[in-house]
């Protein structure tokens, strides 16, 4: 077997029981946060499962089945400490492993020399005694088979794993568990016995992938765990500074250092967090999100400069703290006949400068709202994908183009009421005046009745000089010139 999986079952609950020295035969359960009367069980130990208590039970239901059930509240500090200990333990076993879930580790055993698999399992279990945490070990020829084996108690065959338990684990795709239960499928072996093609046609590719995993045909690469590096640096001035020029001067050198560290770890900057400490004891923190991951210190410095240009410090600055949030470098294929923005970060910097001038909510991407009300456009602050050129979907135009008046021009119209609607007869004011020769309409429109409702009747008219116009009437007596047809 080339892979092993170490599964620390119910780590959040087990860490509390180990900390308090609770006996193994004591039924215990971990509560969700909130009042006990309304909370439910999110984890139970082996002793509680003997009373048929399952995660998801209400507290009252669990106590009805076992009056001696020990109820524990979550302790995130103890859970974090237990995760650190298990991580250090796994790191001492092999150099390469994957942190699949907070409770499960996948190990690559190809570089280890061992007498036998049973000896290695026994040695690992003995070495983990100091953790005082329940540990299940599974071996497999693929990472996923080893993972499935670790979910089975007593190192049983992974194909004997019940589908109901696999659905609760939520680590493998099992979107149609109720359907499989109606089919009479109980274990993973039952699923593996079905034809793959028919399974994929009826229930989708997720179950087809699980079918491949059960047969050992799905061999993926491990996502090797590496300790997260923190890219931050702090500088304290000898004397507090009153403007941002010394801060930018020091930031240029510090950003170069941080970018070199990012390049060494094959990462790029996605966000800058700037914290300023003032001599009056106050502090200010600002997140500066980049439009595209970058490794250029000049781009990062320009982003800081744009922010500091309009920032008014309440007091002289004593020190500042720079932190870069890393991400994977972005690579995009260039288009042959079209291209996106040459420098998305420079474009985003220009937008930030413009927003300081015209206001934060006056720059964006115009888009038409999903409403029947005509000519309603809003600005979206969402940053587009500047690397991919936009190919607009232009619908066919089967009518005369309308040159809209923005905003619509209020006018006085001579009209008469016929039934429910006012019919226009002549334009009395506005840029186009005179009697109306022909009309088409009315076309009543309304909407947003659940908020500030709107209602109007639209008219297409022709004057005596063959000018085509569009009018709207809004109750009780408002007429507007919406535009002229070309």
Q: 175 and 125, same structural domain?
A: no
Q: Which residues contact 25 (CB under 8 A, 6 or more apart)?
A: 47
Q: 162 and 62, same structural domain?
A: no
Token pair, residue 76, equals 């995130």
Q: 33 and 130, same structural domain?
A: yes
462 domain residue, yes or no: yes
Q: 167-171: long-range contacts (C-beta < 8 A, 24 or more apart)?
A: 168/55, 171/100, 171/101, 171/104, 171/147
- Which residue has 């684990």 as its token pair? 169
Q: 165 and 83, same structural domain?
A: no
Q: 163 and 131, same structural domain?
A: no
247 domain residue, yes or no: no
Q: 195 and 86, same structural domain?
A: no
327 domain residue, yes or no: no
pLDDT tens column, 45-65: 989 989 999 888 888 899 999
Q: 167 and 110, same structural domain?
A: no
Q: How many domains does the chain have?
A: 3
Q: Which residues contact 295 (CB under 8 A, 6 or more apart)?
A: 259, 262, 263, 268, 269, 329
421 domain residue, yes or no: yes
Rg (alpha carbons) of the chain, rounded to whole number: 34
Q: 178 and 93, same structural domain?
A: no
368 domain residue, yes or no: no
User: What's the pLDDT score for residue 189?
Assistant: 84
Q: 163 and 140, same structural domain?
A: no
Q: Are 40 and 32 in contact (CB under 8 A)?
A: yes
User: What's the pLDDT score for residue 387?
Assistant: 47
Helices 205-214 and 143-150 cross at an angle (nearest 10°) of 80
In whole angstroms, give the CA distance from residue 422 to residue 415: 6
Q: 130 and 11, same structural domain?
A: yes
Domain limit, last residue, from 214, 237, 258: 214
Domain of residue 75, CATH code: 3.40.1170.60
Q: 98 and 47, same structural domain?
A: yes
346 domain residue, yes or no: no
Low-confidence stretches of the chain (pLDDT beneath 70): 34-35, 154-156, 165, 167-170, 173, 331-343, 345, 360, 381-398, 451
Residues forming beta bridges with residue 268, ordered by sequence position:
327
Q: Are 278 and 315 in contact (CB under 8 A)?
A: yes
230 domain residue, yes or no: no
- Which residue has 């560290």 as its token pair? 261
Q: Are 255 and 273 in contact (CB under 8 A)?
A: no
Do β-strands 28-31 and 70-72 pair in parallel, antiparallel, or remain unpaired?
A: parallel
268 domain residue, yes or no: no
Q: 416 and 471, same structural domain?
A: yes
SS3 433: coil
The DSSP output letter for 159 is: G
Domain of 199, in residue numbers: 157-214
């Amino acid at each position: 077997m080339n892979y092993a999986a170490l599964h620390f079952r119910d780590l959040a609950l087990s860490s509390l029981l180990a900390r308090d020295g609770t006996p193994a035969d004591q039924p215990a359960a971990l509560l969700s946060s909130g009042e006990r009367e309304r909370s439910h069980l999110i984890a139970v130990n082996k002793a509680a499962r003997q009373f048929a208590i399952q995660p998801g039970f209400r507290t009252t239901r669990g106590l009805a089945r076992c009056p001696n059930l020990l109820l524990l509240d979550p302790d995130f500090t103890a859970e974090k400490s237990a995760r650190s200990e298990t991580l250090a333990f796994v790191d001492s076993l092999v150099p390469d492993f994957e942190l699949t879930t907070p409770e499960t580790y996948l190990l690559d055993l190809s570089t280890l020399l061992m007498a036998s698999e049973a000896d290695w399992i026994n040695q690992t279990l003995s070495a983990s005694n100091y953790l005082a945490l329940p540990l299940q070990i599974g071996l497999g020829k693929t990472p996923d088979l080893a993972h499935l084996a670790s979910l089975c108690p007593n190192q049983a065959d992974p194909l004997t794993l019940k589908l109901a338990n696999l659905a609760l684990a939520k680590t493998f795709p099992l979107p149609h568990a109720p359907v499989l239960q109606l089919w009479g499928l109980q274990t993973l072996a039952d699923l593996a016995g079905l034809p793959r093609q028919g399974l994929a046609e009826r229930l989708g590719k997720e179950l087809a992938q699980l079918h491949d995993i059960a047969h050992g045909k799905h061999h993926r690469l491990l996502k090797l765990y590496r300790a997260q590096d923190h890219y931050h640096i702090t500088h304290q001035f000898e004397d507090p500074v009153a403007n941002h020029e010394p801060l930018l001067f020091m930031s240029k050198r510090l950003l170069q250092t941080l970018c070199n560290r990012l390049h060494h770890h094959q990462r790029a900057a996605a966000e800058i967090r700037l914290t300023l400490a003032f001599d009056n004891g106050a502090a200010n923190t600002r997140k500066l999100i980049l439009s595209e991951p970058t490794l250029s210190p000049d781009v990062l410095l320009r982003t800081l400069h744009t922010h500091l240009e309009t920032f008014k410090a309440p007091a002289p600055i004593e020190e500042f703290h720079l932190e870069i949030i890393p991400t994977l470098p972005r690579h995009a294929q260039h288009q042959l006949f079209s291209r996106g923005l040459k420098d998305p970060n420079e474009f985003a910097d220009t937008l930030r400068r413009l927003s300081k001038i015209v206001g934060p909510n006056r720059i964006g991407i115009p888009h038409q709202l999903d409403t029947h009300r005509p000519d309603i456009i809003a600005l979206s602050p969402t940053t587009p994908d500047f690397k991919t050129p936009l190919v607009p979907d232009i619908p066919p135009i089967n009518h005369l183009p309308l040159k809209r008046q923005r905003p619509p021009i209020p006018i006085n119209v001579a009209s008469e009421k016929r039934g429910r609607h006012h019919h226009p007869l002549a334009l009395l004011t506005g840029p186009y005046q005179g009697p109306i020769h022909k009309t088409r309409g009315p076309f009543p429109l309304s909407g947003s009745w659940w908020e500030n409702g709107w209602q109007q009747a639209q008219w297409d008219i022709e004057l005596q000089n063959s000018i085509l116009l569009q009018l709207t009437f809004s109750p009780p007596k408002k007429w507007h010139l919406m535009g002229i047809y070309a």
